[in-house]
Amino acid sequence: MSGAPHWSAGDELEERKLPPIDRMRLIKYAGASGDFNPIHLVDEAAADAGLPGIIAHGMVTVATMGLLFSPYLEYGYIKTFRSRFSGMVFLGDVLHVGGCVGSVEEPKEGRLYAFEVYARRDEDTVASGEVGFLVYEDQL
């Protein structure tokens, strides 16, 4: 029997709590992505930009929401991913990521689950968006 996920509209993914954002994570992400914008790395550059401290790359938050789907890659993949940024993420911030199924479609390639996803720090949503996760036809 396949261990493929089977979701229905309204189902929630278990919310995940991530380790606090630290400088090393942002340095590694800068190196891995090539985004060396100094407001993510250098305190003085953040201060010059009028920020209380360095801020995380928005794409770190996007990737973090993507982690919700890593356990299911044998059964499908992220076909579409959209994220709107609504708040800055600072050093020490602890993010929670989660999502729920908005709708289910049945294209010929399989079953496409439209998730609404979010990243929050306490009650502040820092990013929200949609993920289209396609479960392959042979896994249904």
Partner 1 sequence: MLYAEFVGSHSEPVRNLVERGAVRRFAEAIADPSPLYVDEEVAVKSRYGNLLAPPTFPRTFDYGRIEGLDLPSAGLIHGEFRISYERPLLVGEELMCSMQLKDSYDKEGRRGLLGFLVFERTGESLDGERVFTTNDVVVVTEAVRRGIGV
Question: Rule CB under 8 A: which residues touch partner 1?
Answer: 18-19, 25, 28-29, 31-35, 37-39, 45, 49, 58-60, 62-64, 66-67, 70-71, 73-74, 77-85, 132, 136
What stretches of the chain adopt beta strand conformation (E)? Answer: 12-17, 76-85, 96-105, 110-121, 124-136
- Closest CB to partner 1 among 12 and 22? 22
- Closest CB to partner 1 among 10 and 52? 52
- Closest CB to partner 1 among 31 and 53? 31
- Closest CB to partner 1 among 120 and 131? 131
Alpha-carbon distance of 27 to 35, in angstroms, equals 10
Least CB distance from residue 75 to partner 1, whole Å?
9
Beta-carbon contacts of 83 under 8 Å, excluding residues fewer than 6 positions away, are 58, 61, 62, 65, 117, 127, 128, 129
Least CB distance from residue 13 to partner 1, whole Å?
15
In terms of Cβ atoms closer than 10 Å to its own Cβ (0-12, 13-18, 19+), residue 76 is buried
- Residues linked to residue 132 through DSSP beta bridges, in sequence order: 80, 114
Least CB distance from residue 18 to partner 1, whole Å?
8
Least CB distance from residue 110 to partner 1, whole Å?
12
